[in-house]
Chain A
Amino acid sequence: MVSRTLSRLGATGLAAVAALGLLAGCGKGGGGGSAGGGDNGSLTLWTHNAGNAKELAADQQVVDDFNKSQSQYKVTVQSFPQDSYNQSVTAAAASKKLPCILDVDGPNVPNWAWAGYLSPLTGMDDTLSKFLPSVVGKYQDKTYSFGHYDVALAMYARPSTLQAAKIRVPSIDKPWTAAEFASGLKALKATGKYPVVLDLATGNTGEWWPYAYSPFLQSFGGDLINRSDYKSADGALNGDKAVAWATWFRSLVTDGYTPLKSSADPEADFLNGKSAILYNGSWGAEQARAKLGKDVVFVPPPDFGSGPKIGGGSWQWAVSSGCGNQDGAMAFMKFLAQDKYVASISEAAGTIPATDAAAAMVKGYEPGGDNDIFRQFSKKFAEVRPPTPGYPFIATEFTKTSQDILNGADPKQALDKAVSDIDANQKSNNYFA
C-alpha cells in the first residue's frame, strides 16, 4: 500500500517536472527577456493601476490610440498593484529589466533620477508649462516626469455640525487661524457627540505621514529640509517653529481630540458620524457627497502662521534610462500629454486634472464645479515634497519621528535626532552630487 503511494509520489514528482517544463513554455510573461527594451519598436509600459479598472481602462485607451495613430511603435501595458509597485520597480531596476515607460509616485522622481533609472524628458517644456507645477517631476533643473492629475488634502466637516458648535465655516480666502481651529476643536469636544473630534487618519502608514503631516509643519514655518541647498535639515526641522508644530501635534492627543491610532477606515467613521472633522484627500469627496448630500464641506487646512499648506504631487509618467528606443518612448510621452488624455485619465481616477483645458472637460472640475475647490487648493496651497534624492530617507525619518512625538517623545529631542540622522544620510551620500 505504502509502496504504491510511493510509486505515485515518484510519478507525481516526475509529472511535476514535466508539467513545469511544459508550463515554462506557455507561462512566460510579456516581461521576460528584455522587459521593455524597445527592440523592434515594441515598448512596454508599467502602471500602478492593477485592480483599478477605470483608470487602467483609461491608460489602455491612450495606448490603443497611440498604437493606431502610427505604425512605427507598439506600446504594451503591464499593470501592477499600487501597494507593492515600488518594490516591483526597484527589483526590476536591480535586474536591469525596467520597461521603457513607467509611472512613478511624484516624491520618488528625484531619487529614481539620481539612481539612474530615469532619463530626462526633452522637448516638452512648452507643453508641460500648462500643467500644475506640482505634477511635473524635476531634479537638478531637468524634467523627468509629468502627471495627468494631482490630489488635494482638505478638512471634511458637516456644516450642521459646525453650526451647532458655533464654528465658522472657513473658505479658501479665509481659512481657520490657529486660534480659531483650537477653539473649534474645544467646542466640538464639549458637545460630547463625537468619539473622535479630529480624525487625522493616524492609522495610515507609509507615505501618508510625510504627505499629510509635513504640510502642517510647513504651515508653522518649518520644513523637512533646508530647500536652499538640500544639504541639511538643521533649523528647518528642529527650529522653534518645528518644535511649535511638534508640541501642537502631540497636544491633539493629550487634549483628547485625535486618537493615537485611527481606525482602518477613518472615512467610514466620518460618514458614520463617529468623527466631527476628517482630514482626507480629494479622492473621498464623491463618496462623502453620495452619503451626506449637501451636509458636507471641504475646507482648507488651518493657517498656522505661514498660510495653509497641502502636499502636492501624485503619480507621474517617466521614461527609463535603459530604454533602447528613446525616440519611441518620447513620441509616446508627447502623445500622452494631450489635454483630452489628461481629462480622461483624471476623470477615471477621480482626481484633479492637471491642466485648465482638461479641467474644463471633466464634470465637477470646471470652474465653479463641485470639485473645483480641490483644484483651487492645489493651485494655492500645494507644496511639493523636497525634490532631493534623499527624500525617501527623510520621509521614513519624519514618519518615525512624528509617531514618536505623537506617542509622547520630547519634541525638541526627537526632532534633533531626526535632523542628525537626515544630515548624516545626506552627507554619507555626498549630498547626492
Chain B
Amino acid sequence: MTAHVAENIGRHSALAVGRRASAGRTVGGYALRIVLCLVFGLPLLFMILSSFKPDLEIFADVGSVRAFLPVGHLTLDNYTGVFDRVPFWQFLFNSVLISVVTVALGLVVNSMAAYALGRLRFRGRKVILAVILATLIVPFEVLALPLLWWVNKLPWLDANGFSLGWLDTYQVQILPFVANAFSIFLFYQYFDSIPKELDEAAVVDGAGFFRIYRTIVMPLSGPAIATVAILTFLPAWNSYLWPLMVVQSENLRPVMVGIDYFKQLNVSWGQIMAYATMITVPVLALFIAFQRAFINSIASSGVKG
C-alpha cells in the first residue's frame, strides 16, 4: 500500500516536473522569439517612426522609449524633402529594372549551366564545376577593379550603333551579375535530386536535351527557382559599390546610391530615415507577401543562412 502510494506520488511528481520542464521550455522558446523579434524589428520601427520626426527630435528621443513611439511633432516634411533632394522615381525605376532583368537572365543562364554540368556527359565537367565553385571564395571587392578594366574594353551594339566600353549604362549594372556560382550550385544540387529515369523516359519518347530541360527538369524545380530568384534579387537591389564605380549619370543610378545624397555637411537624418523607409518597405512587403513560399523554398532546397 505504502509502496503503491509512493509509486503514485513519484509518477505524479515526475509528470509535474515534466510538465514544468515543458512549460519552461515553451516560455523560454517564446521569450527567445520575442527577443529575436525585438532585435530585428526595433531598428525597422525606429527607422519608420524617425522618418516622421524632425532631426532635433530624433536625437532628443534617442536613449528613451520615445524613440520607438509615434509621439512628438510628427510630420511628412522628411518625405517631401526626399523628393526635393533625390530623383526618387528614377532611382526606383532603375533599381527595379536592374534587379528584375538580373533575376530573369540569371534564372535562365544559371539553370542552363547547372543542367549542362549535372545532366550532360562530357569530359571535364567535374573540373568545370569545381572551378565555378572555387570562385565563391573570391569576394567581389577583389574582382571589382579587374572587372572595371574589362567592362571598359567590352564592345556593345545597340540602336545607336557600335560602341566600346560599357561604363555608364544599364548593361554594366546587370550583365556582370547574371552568371552566379552559387545559383549554379543550387540548381545543380536540386537537379541532382530529380530522378534520371525521367530523362531516360523522355529520351525514349524522342526528347532532346533542351526539351528535357524545359519540359521536365525545370517544371520540377520550383523551389530552386524561387530560392535563386530571391537570392539574386536581394544583392541586385542592394548594389552599392559597383554603381559607384561604373555609373556617372544621375539618370542611371540605383536606389542605394541615393542614400549618399543626404550625407552633406549637415546630415539630414530624418530624410535619410524617410528615404530608407521608402526603399525598404517595397522589399519588405514583397517578402511578407511571399513569406511562406520563400521559407518553403529555403527549407526544400537545403539552403540556410
Contacts and interface: CB of A to CB of B under 8 A. Distances in A.
Contacts of A271: 56
Given A9-B107, A28-B169, A52-B264, A265 B59 contact: yes
Given A3-B219, A31-B248, A84-B257, A24 B167 contact: no
Given A95-B152, A269-B59, A283-B265, A30 B249 contact: yes
Contacts of B215: 3, 6
A329 B262 CA distance: 30
Given A23-B97, A78-B248, A94-B148, A32 B60 contact: no
Contacts of B260: 50-51, 81-84
Interface in A320-371: 350
A16 interface: yes
A78 B167 contact: no
Contacts of B245: 87-88, 91
Interface residues on A, range: 35 or more
Interface string B192-222: 0000000000000000000000110011101
Interface string A266-282: 01110110000000010
Contact of A13 (B105, B171, B250): B105
Interface residues on B, range: 35 or more
A84 B218 CA distance: 42
B101 A16 contact: yes
A265 B219 contact: no
B45 interface: no
Contacts of A20: 101, 105, 170-171, 174-175
Given A20-B170, A33-B163, A50-B261, A13 B86 contact: no
A267 B263 CA distance: 15
Interface string A11-26: 0110111011111110
Given A20-B170, A91-B246, A263 B59 contact: yes
A21 B97 CA distance: 13
Count chain A CB atoms within 10 A of each CB in B56, B58, B104, B246 and give the residue with the most.
B104
B244 A88 contact: yes
Contacts of A267: 266
B108 to A, nearest CB: 4
Interface stretch (B7-15, B126-134, B153-161, B280-288): B153-161
B62 interface: yes
Nearest to B60: A272
Contacts of A124: none
Contacts of A281: 265
B301 to A, nearest CB: 16
Contacts of A80: 248
A174 B158 CA distance: 68
Nearest to B242: A91
A376 interface: no
B219 A23 contact: no
A115 to B, nearest CB: 15
Contacts of A385: none
A118 to B, nearest CB: 18
B248 A88 contact: yes
B160 A268 contact: no
A24 B169 contact: yes
B204 to A, nearest CB: 20
A32 B165 contact: yes
Given A31-B168, A94-B148, A10 B55 contact: no
B80 interface: no
A78 B248 CA distance: 7
A100 to B, nearest CB: 13
B105 A24 contact: no
Given A29-B252, A52-B264, A283-B265, A16 B159 contact: no
Contact of A81 (B163, B257, B265): B257
B136 to A, nearest CB: 24
Interface in B47-103: 55-56, 58-60, 62, 84-86, 97, 100-101
Given A32-B163, A83-B263, A269-B59, A92 B248 contact: yes
B22 interface: no
Interface in A71-128: 78-84, 87-88, 91-92, 94-97
A94 to B, nearest CB: 6
A272 B244 CA distance: 36
B267 interface: yes
B148 to A, nearest CB: 6
Interface in B222-242: 222, 225, 241
Given A268-B56, A268-B59, A10 B169 contact: no
A242 interface: no
Contact of A28 (B55, B56, B168): B168
B59 A25 contact: no
B251 interface: yes
Contact of B248 (A15, A25, A30, A84): A30
Interface of A: 2-3, 5-6, 9-10, 12-13, 15-17, 19-25, 27-33, 35, 46, 50-53, 78-84, 87-88, 91-92, 94-97, 151, 263-265, 267-269, 271-272, 281, 283-284, 287, 291, 350
20 contacts: A6-B219, A16-B105, A20-B101, A21-B159, A23-B97, A24-B156, A27-B251, A29-B248, A29-B249, A29-B252, A30-B168, A35-B167, A51-B262, A51-B264, A78-B250, A82-B263, A91-B244, A94-B149, A95-B167, A265-B55
Interface of B: 55-56, 58-60, 62, 84-86, 97, 100-101, 104-105, 107-108, 145, 148-149, 152, 156, 158-160, 163-165, 167-171, 174-175, 214-215, 218-220, 222, 225, 241, 244-252, 257-258, 260-267, 269
Closest 10 CB pairs of A and B: A29-B249, A51-B261, A31-B248, A81-B260, A29-B168, A25-B159, A91-B245, A268-B59, A16-B104, A13-B108
